[in-house]
Structure 1
Amino acid sequence: MIVIEAGVLLTPVTRFEPGRLIIDGTSITDAGSATTIRVPSGARRVDASQMLVVPGFIEPHIHGCGGADVMEGTYESLNVMSRTLSKHGTTSFLATTVSSPPDVLTAAIEKLGALIPRSFDGAQPIGIHLEGPFISTAKRGTHRAANVIAPDVGLLEKWIRAANKTLRLVTLAPELPGADELVPLAREQGVSLAMGHSNATFEQARSAVERGFSYAVHTFNAMRAFSHRGSGIVGEVLADDRIFAEIIPDGVHVDPAVVRLFGRAKGKERVLLVSDAISATGMPDGRYVLGGDTVEVVNGVCRDGEGRLAGSTLTQEIALRNFAEWTAWSIEDALLGLTLNPARALRLEKKGVLDAGADADVVLMDHSFRVMKTYVKGKLVFDRLWTN
């Protein structure tokens, strides 16, 4: 049994200062004020009296890190990602694919679906995010045009089977012919549909929400441009409180002033702080892969051969720091964007909170948002002392 003595404990909806967290095995048994929670006999104490203790971060949108790419589909590549992410406070992630020929995607999904239930050294992959190929050619971003195809219910059904019940999120341009046919299948299989890489008008996006879409991928990026006379998909994402919306707060994908506007529009309960990170994350500048393509990274900025942004090298603790700074939100409010909000958006049980019965996914940070220790299901998987 482990007792973490916290200078500040954020559950994240409640703040305890000082706080105390009790971990028994893989679960949290109690969390609250240090003045009211009794320390069990024989428990091992962890001194975090100068730190913030928060839920482990959930990353719904990541293509790679540490030199590894999701599309490799190997245990070794996922484990590299797992170890790398734990250094940055991420404890759960969706392995995110890129648009590829159907046979390539099928093979990758089969491999990932078989691997995801296994144990890893750090952050745990909890499912697959299928980003493409059912996206708009006009808003494909770095996805190859040849790999973008029309929505196909038969293919989605095939990929759901191949994923072995691990497909959790599908990015889809809702304005495309045939998109409607995917909605009942996704709902029946418990797969969330996300609007993204889309040239939808405001009306088309609103119709998609009425049909069951409740998630938006990297807001502003690869979307029809916002205008005061034709707000498009961005207008619907910002105005509709039913939508959980991703933002990449790296200062490259979205200007800090626009991130601040985004925060005001969405409110603390619908923001999702994501990285869209690629294999170059945590690595020196140079050439890296994103699926089957080569990406050039200069000063941490990733671009494809045509100069388009191709993911990021952002990590979630930096996303949290940037977002809190640029919006002037409290740490409690900003923290929701990578804990409770993604848990709710993806309908994850026992994640994103420090409550009795929840998984013991816990991060200890200093007050500069530097991750000091990370626990995944009660196991210490990262300690900054190991790297010193």
Structure 2
Amino acid sequence: MKLTVIGGGSTYTPELVDGFARLRDQLPIDELWLVDPDPVRRELVGGVAKRMFAHAGHPGTIHVTDDVVAGVSDADAVMLQLRIGGQNARKGDETWPHEACCIGQETTGPGGFAKALRTVPVVLEYAELIRKHAKPDAWIVDFTNPVGIVTRALLEAGHRAVGLCNVAIGFQRRFAEQYGVAADHVRLDHVGLNHLTWERGVHIRAEDGSERDVIDELVGVQLDEVAESVHMAPALLRLQRAVPSYYLRYFYEHDIVLEEQLHEPTRAEAVMETERALLAKYADESVVTKPVELEQRGGAYYSEAAIDVLSSILSDRGDVQVLNVRNDGTFAFLPDDHVIEVPSRVHASGITPLPVAALEADKAALVAHVAGYERLALEAAVHGGRDRVLHAMLAHPLVGQVDKAEKLTDLLIANNADHLAWAR
């Protein structure tokens, strides 16, 4: 099979390559194409990727190019891991919202909106090249944030696409270690939108095949430890009888997070430093395995999640994974074409969300509010225009005031005009 990674010069890529090398029987790759416009990253990341395959004895061939058409031609699947504007744009996303007393974050709030505006048009351009040059049944697997909005853009344009996030697999691995079982013995009742999810059940399977839900233990006797792991108040987990994704902290503890952000270095600055160290490692020809510094970059279990979905699609396995897919009636209060993040059945012909219990009123209210913003955000990303940006900004639950929305809209456009064709 031929697998292509657009954004292959990312410092994340050796995480993927490590997984491809370790799990070659699960996902047999003949050709891995890494596509990236940055010549330095292509050389350094491509070089370490080739050494990793050779060291692991992987028979596949790695190609590195800036030619998107060559990269996607006859591909069986294409992964997207883009960061339009690089870490400098991310630093902006994490700082300019502070001028309007709002959190700065690269996937949530005004900063996440800016990332969507920069990203969606580029992704749709790449997707058209994939439609034209890849195999007719090729799938697009999107790891590019904000995953929910980007995946819906792809699906609305008629592409075979699915969104991938590592939050659920991270929880699965954490609970597996906590209970001393294999990861595939943990099943999650994972519900919500991308980066707006809760674990409402954590089912541990015993060797005899029986299951027990340990959620009451996690929000009971283990409450303090679990709350600390997601950096939120124990009272919230007990009240909701669920384990929220870390990203919900931006909603439930907004003012606390904002105060922290105003007095701490940005995550972008930390990532820039980590990336400098990683690229130096990648330049060292003695490095033939994934560097330990990569753990600081984030994206834990990214390769396992990617391999799971790709192998399931390509082998028509029919198993269940947590993915970003069309709602199609799963949440009755959302349109069918909205993208949600829930356990889904994976086949080569399509990916179908499994039924879930109705969301509790507080969770449904927040999901509906954010979904409304996401729909307006996609309109702004596809069609442009200040009024569309303002409309979506006002709709975001972390904004919600017209004067604040006006200020944030102007800040967003001023800080991102180079990446917004309609704003130049």
State the TM-score, normalized to the length of structure 1. Answer: 0.30
Higher strand share: 1
Higher helix share: 2
State the TM-score, normalized to the length of structure 2. Answer: 0.28
Higher relative contact order (CA 8 A, sep 6+): 1
